[in-house]
A and B are shown apart, each in its own frame.
Chain A
Amino acid sequence: MPKENAGVQISLLLLKLLEEKDMYGYEMIATLANRSEEVFQLKAGTLYPILHNMEKENWVQTYEAMADGRIRKYYQLTKQGKIQLQEQTAKWKKYAQAIQNVLEGEGKGDYEADKRCTF
């Protein structure tokens, strides 16, 4: 998987999680791991730079609340974030469909076969 695509996918997953409810960093990692049956096991070191970048881009906003006797930073999806989620979802579906087409469509769209048909 290309590295740049991996970055886009993680932000898509995070945006999707935040669409459902406001979450803090650790909660996102745990939820992602649970839902993906441990396929997506993000490190905190990967998560926070992405989250902070999303905050900088105004896709998410943060607020603080007391939990377990300490301050916890929660992330919340913004309007811009919702638009971004829609765009990234559409891109991902197109991308996934393209892969699906390649994997399943034997002969379909074959360059040499198409060339022969034109004569």
Chain B
Amino acid sequence: MKQTKDVLSEMGQQYVHTVCEQIQCKSARKAVAWELTDHILCQKQDFMEQGMQDEEAEICAVLEMGEGKEVGMALDQIHRPKCQWQLMIPVFLLFGFGLVSRFLFSDIVEFESLFLLTGVGIGLFFLAYFLDVAVLYSMGKWFVLVVFLVLGLSFVLYHEHNGQPYFAMRYGMIPYYDFALILPIAQFAIYGLGYQRQKKGFLLCVVSIGLFFLYLLWCDHISYVLLYGVAAWSSLGVAVFCDWFGIGKKEGKRLFFVLTAIGMILLCLYLFFVLRYRFDMAVGRMTGEENDSGYVAALVQELWKNSQWLGMGEVPKGKWRTTILYVIQSKEYGAELFLAKVAFVKGKLFVFFILCAFVFLFCWSYHKIRNQKSSHAKITATCIWTILLFQTIGYIFYNFGFMILSMELLPLVSDGIVCFWLNAFLIGILLSVFRRENIANDGCILEKQIKNF
């Protein structure tokens, strides 16, 4: 409420304070304080034009406002965060499916470990659910500092395993590519810094996206590089379409499309020249033999067989037989092919229910994103929604044999401890944005940035 203190006398401040005191939600308080302050100042100006002195004009302006406590109570009723029970249902169904799946297929056999794992996930979900994501945007400088400090340290502390950097802990190793799931959150802080700073702000965000992208390339997991790329691209797109940087929608779109084209060309060149061997490996894995003659032909050949497998629901003959039998008979969890395993062991109905929960989650979230009023809520929700969707679609396609690259894990359901926790946290943030949709506008949370600007 800095603006209030700067421009109003004690009586005006007291009035705004009385109103805001009645409002439980802190983010809403700020927005209301801004609006009431502006109103008092407009009224005061009018009174002064009618011949009143400064002090008298402000007293009269405050008296014109109405009873502070009553106004505050009325506003409090409107600005209470809304419980997102419609989305809680699919989320907790997915937590449930995850628990059952781990119990059935995981090599974690102790109940305590299973419940602890899920419990921590649910805990992180609720932590994020009650978190006000606007803080990330308004305290951008500090978050950015912490993120770059962590990334800097990661270069020093890493252990290489199978050519990929890991953080070694007493109980296991955390792969660095998992950062792909939380780097977009760090990106929000950078968006906060770039708010209404025109081309400087846009450039700042693009450079930071480029740096994070390079970092993930160093982590050497192409699926996660693509995941971050898609999430960063979608959030930047929304920011430009909302004119977040203040460069104008037309100019913003032009810059965005140019950047997209350059990014696509660079990515294609990288995939074709640097990572071509990975495609060949993936095709080799999929077809059961090494394939040096190009992956497209092999992919097309396998598509028909895969769709037959999907339709028949029984172990097919030929090259796929070995893979499927391996998946079904393997005592390990088989995280990468979990859905396929569930389909064969527990039946397609189980998979159908899991997919229904995802479809509902994504459709309802999409509807909620479209209703978001503030730009920062739109950017946050779109980015997280894209991350979750990309993982889910990639995972499903891979499981049913329509994709030659192994993708990320299925959010909340499939194995993978750190990913499971991070996804639970991300879904919590998504719901947190929705529950505060009527509360804060961009201006009041980015007060400092506007003042500097």
Contact = CB atoms under 8 A, between A and B. Distances in A.
Nearest to B35: A73
Interface string B437-450: 01001111000001
A45 B39 contact: no
A53 B77 CA distance: 9
B71 interface: yes
Contacts of B441: 62, 64, 73
A56 interface: yes
Is the contact region of chain B dominated by helix, strand, or loop, or is it mixed?
helix
Contacts of A44: 36, 39, 43, 64-66, 71
Given A45-B67, A45-B70, A64-B441, A53 B39 contact: no
A77 to B, nearest CB: 14
A48 B79 contact: no
A55 B64 CA distance: 23
A62 B443 CA distance: 11
A48 B34 contact: no
Contacts, number: 76
Nearest to B373: A61
B71 A45 contact: yes
Contacts of B75: 48-49, 52
Contacts of B7: 70
Interface residues of A, number: 25
Given A44-B36, A49-B78, A64 B442 contact: yes
B93 interface: no
Contacts of A91: none
Nearest to A53: B78
Interface string A40-78: 000111101100110110100110101010111100000
A84 to B, nearest CB: 16
B34 A56 contact: no
Interface size grouping (class) on chain B: 20 to 34
Contact of A24 (B3, B38, B46, B68): B38
B66 A43 contact: yes
B42 interface: yes
A94 B42 CA distance: 37
A72 B38 contact: yes
Interface string B37-65: 11101110010000000000000000011
Interface centre among B67, B68, B71, by most chain A C-beta atoms within 10 angstroms, is B71
Nearest to B371: A58
B38 A70 contact: yes
B39 A26 contact: yes
Nearest to B71: A45
A45 B66 contact: yes
B451 to A, nearest CB: 10
Given A44-B66, A48-B71, A49-B75, A62 B373 contact: yes
Given A44-B66, A56-B438, A73 B38 contact: yes
Given A45-B70, A48-B71, 5 more contacts: A43-B65, A44-B71, A49-B71, A58-B371, A62-B441
11 contacts: A24-B42, A25-B35, A26-B39, A27-B42, A45-B67, A45-B70, A49-B71, A52-B79, A61-B373, A62-B441, A64-B442
